[in-house]
Structure 1
């Protein structure tokens, strides 16, 4: 465990594993580095110098008391890359983190070597964030931990995965509670996600881009991925059949293989 530096010198919590090409992982709403899971991180560290950091206000990092946008969070990501001494990085952002990754490549294009956008949306009038996500945020806002865990588990993982992995709920509970996640920060993240709109600017993205999405994603419908793949020039769309929002939990091997293949092809 260590810290990296976000915009304005803000201290952010992170984990760092492996050696190789730089890979920055950007988590989603109400999430943190532990939710990447050991399975994915172990697969990635064979090829990458992996840094998974937490958004402002999460974990042991500095407090976040003022509202922020996905652009503000993108400035954090750019500062993290610089603070690590990297000239640029392969970037993988999921959900809210995918929105942040879009803003990162638009605001700081030289910092992004390749881009992978998972279970996310371009936002705007045609962006779809489901009522399932809204119910999850409402459950978290009650501060009833068990209610929040039940609701977020159902929003994030497919029924198929839950049936296949008997201990899935216990694993999810342990990882979700491993890092402090203040409710006010989650609500500010939700507001930032709802306000996100990069659709009209994505045509200018000129780095190799993967769009990854589970077809059974209850929180962020797969139609968002189809739209992203149309908006970003030459984007490669990869769907995870039957997987939920946390598709990399359900298929960490394929997720790592796709990220590795993209990095190998583009340096």
Structure 2
């Protein structure tokens, strides 16, 4: 469904809405706001993770970030010159991004406003983790708990992506034909994937094809990337976060190295760090099962005595 938030249109999936109708009993559940990563759409959240949270007694809200999926696109802001921005960055200069991560954080808060949700557990993956951190900094009273998954503080001293992964990330499809675009993303997801948990090729292709058919917005992804590069103050501001925080990170992540998760946890008072062996920069079934165990325990501890008991999902039960 489409909602108006922070002055733009945002595509949202809310488990409290069934066939477009708000179900009061589901709306009263503690809310979990899921924020997806760079260029990714709300459908990228693994169904097992979403179902595990719902079975755990939570109201699950997913949305397309600005500039991707079915949310408002910002084509009127033009196409950033990534090469020139990279040169300026190395010279210690900053390029002005089309918009900031703080704007994307206010989009997330706007989703809660539109749905009349006073506070929520905020969970972000990769770029979504950076946005989630910004939400917790900007509106601590609205964040019951924070979970940052395979993300980073953005501190300058942290290790960069592996060179071969960065080359794939910054490359472009050979053409704009659907098959070439799908092949490009299959190559990217293989490069950043979990070495110990390779995804089934047919399932990966089906997932990529679904995403490309739903929306293909590479320029929007570039504008999001510019927002990440310009967000240079977040690391120093993480000490302001007071929400109970869980940091989950794959120890084999080739895109956002594990040290980035370690650094994030060190900067947030009381944060718990969980490293997942063999996990890269994706969400395969086995790590998702482990993530669910840690995440549900974290959400319930932060929720306190009123935490929902829920029921064990198949993913959690098999972990």
Q: How high is the TM-score relative to the length of structure 1?
A: 0.91
SS of the residue aligned with 2:238? helix
Contact in 2 for aligned 1:25/1:93 (Cα 8 Å): yes
Residues 133 and 79 of structure 1: is their aligned pair in 2 closer, same or farther, counting only changes over 3 Å?
farther
**Cα distance between partner residues in 1 of 2:252 and 2:147:** 19
How far did residue 252 of structure 1 move?
Answer: 2.0
Give the length in aligned residue pairs: 264
Contact in 2 for aligned 1:21/1:48 (Cα 8 Å): yes
Contact in 2 for aligned 1:36/1:249 (Cα 8 Å): no
SS of the residue aligned with 2:249? strand
**Cα distance between partner residues in 1 of 2:285 and 2:64:** 18
Range with greater deviation from structure 2 (214-223 or 16-25): 16-25
**Cα distance between partner residues in 2 of 1:21 and 1:246:** 26
Residues 39 and 147 of structure 1: is their aligned pair in 2 closer, same or farther, counting only changes over 3 Å?
same
User: What does residue range 76-91 of structure 1 map to in structure 2 within 5 Å?
Assistant: 76-91=107-122
Tell me the alpha carbon deviations over residues 40-70 of structure 1, each in whole angstroms, 9 at most, x when there is no partner. 1111111210011011122222222331111
User: What does residue range 211-250 of structure 1 map to in structure 2 within 5 Å?
Assistant: 211-247=247-283, 249-250=285-286
Q: Where in structure 2 are there 5+ consecutive unaligned residues?
A: 17-25, 78-97, 304-319
**Cα distance between partner residues in 2 of 1:87 and 1:141:** 46
User: What does residue range 42-53 of structure 1 map to in structure 2 within 5 Å?
Assistant: 42-46=51-55, 47-53=57-63
1:112 aligned onto 2:112: no
Q: Match for residue 7 of structure 1?
A: 6
SS of the residue aligned with 1:213? strand
SS of the residue aligned with 2:73? coil
**Cα distance between partner residues in 2 of 1:199 and 1:141:** 37
Q: Match for residue 28 of structure 1?
A: 37
1:148 aligned onto 2:184: yes
Range with greater deviation from structure 2 (250-259 or 46-55): 250-259
User: What does residue range 44-193 of structure 1 map to in structure 2 within 5 Å?
Assistant: 44-46=53-55, 47-65=57-75, 66=77, 67-130=98-161, 131=163, 132-133=165-166, 135-139=168-172, 143=176, 144-162=180-198, 165=200, 167-193=202-228
Q: How high is the TM-score relative to the length of structure 2?
A: 0.77
**Cα distance between partner residues in 1 of 2:288 and 2:280:** 13
Tell me the alpha carbon deviations over residues 179-204 of structure 1, each in whole angstroms, 9 at most, x when there is no partner. 31311101011111222231111111
Residues 174 and 142 of structure 1: is their aligned pair in 2 closer, same or farther, counting only changes over 3 Å?
closer
Contact in 2 for aligned 1:120/1:220 (Cα 8 Å): yes
Residues 214 and 21 of structure 1: is their aligned pair in 2 closer, same or farther, counting only changes over 3 Å?
same
Runs of 4 or more, structure 1, over 6 Å off, are: none
User: RMSD value over aligned CA atoms?
Assistant: 2.1
